[in-house]
Structure 1
Amino acid sequence: MKNLIYFTCITIFFMGCKAEPEVSIAEKIANAHGLEHWKNVSEIQFTFNVDRGNSHFKRAWRWKPKTGDVVMTTNDEVVSYNKATVDSTSIKADQAFINDKFWLLIPFQLVWDSGTSISEPLKEKAPISKIEMNKITLSYPNDGGYTPGDAYDIYFDDAYLIKEWIYRKENQKEPSIVNTFENHQNFNGITIALEHKKQDSDWNLNFTNIQVILE
Structure 2
Amino acid sequence: MKKLLIISVLSITLFSCNDSKKTEEMDKNPDLTVQDKIAMANGFEKFDSISQLKFTFNVKVEDSLRSSRRWTWNIKEGKISLTEKDSTMSYTKKDSLADDKKYIDERFVNDSYWLLFPYQLKWSNAEYSEVKKANAPISGDELQMMSVKYPSDGGYTPGDTYDIYFDDDYMIKEWVYKASGGGREMATTWEDYQNFDGVKIAKKHKTKDGNFELYFTDIEVND
TM-score range, shorter chain: 0.7 to 0.9
Partner residue in 2 for 1:8 = none
Question: 1:51 aligned to 45, 60, 65, which one?
Answer: 60
Question: 1:110 aligned to 109, 121, 127, which one?
Answer: 121
Map 1:56-135 → 2, pairs under 5 A: 56=65, 57-84=67-94, 86-114=97-125, 116-135=126-145
Partner residue in 2 for 1:168 = 178
1:52, distance to aligned residue in structure 2 (A): 2.5
Runs of 4+, deviation exceeding 4 Å: none
Q: Which segments of 5 or more consecutive residues in structure 1 lack a partner in the other structure? A: 1-19
Task: Please give the alpha-carbon distance, in whole angstroms, between the structure 2 residues aligned to 1:206 and 1:80.
Answer: 23
Aligned-partner SS, 1:92: helix
Aligned-partner SS, 1:120: coil
Partner residue in 1 for 2:166 = 156
Aligned-partner SS, 1:29: helix
Partner residue in 2 for 1:185 = 194
Q: Is the 8 A contact 1:182 1:193 kept in 2?
A: yes
Task: Please give the alpha-carbon distance, in whole angstroms, between the structure 1 residues aligned to 2:175 and 2:54.
Answer: 24
Q: Is the 8 A contact 2:63 2:211 kept in 1?
A: no
Task: Please give the alpha-carbon distance, in whole angstroms, between the structure 2 residues aligned to 1:152 and 1:53.
Answer: 24
Partner residue in 1 for 2:42 = 33
1:175, distance to aligned residue in structure 2 (A): 5.5
- Establish whether residue 139 from structure 1 lines up as the match of residue 139 from structure 2: no
The CA deviation string for residues 102-159 of structure 1, in whole angstroms up to 9 with x for no partner, is 0000000011012x10111110000000000000000011100010000000000000
Q: Select between 141-150 and 83-92 the one with higher mean Cα deviation.
A: 83-92
Q: What TM-score results when the alignment is normalised by the length of structure 2?
A: 0.83
Partner residue in 1 for 2:3 = none
The count of aligned residue pairs is: 193
Partner residue in 2 for 1:9 = none
Aligned-partner SS, 1:98: helix
Q: Which segments of 5 or more consecutive residues in structure 2 lack a partner in the other structure? A: 1-28
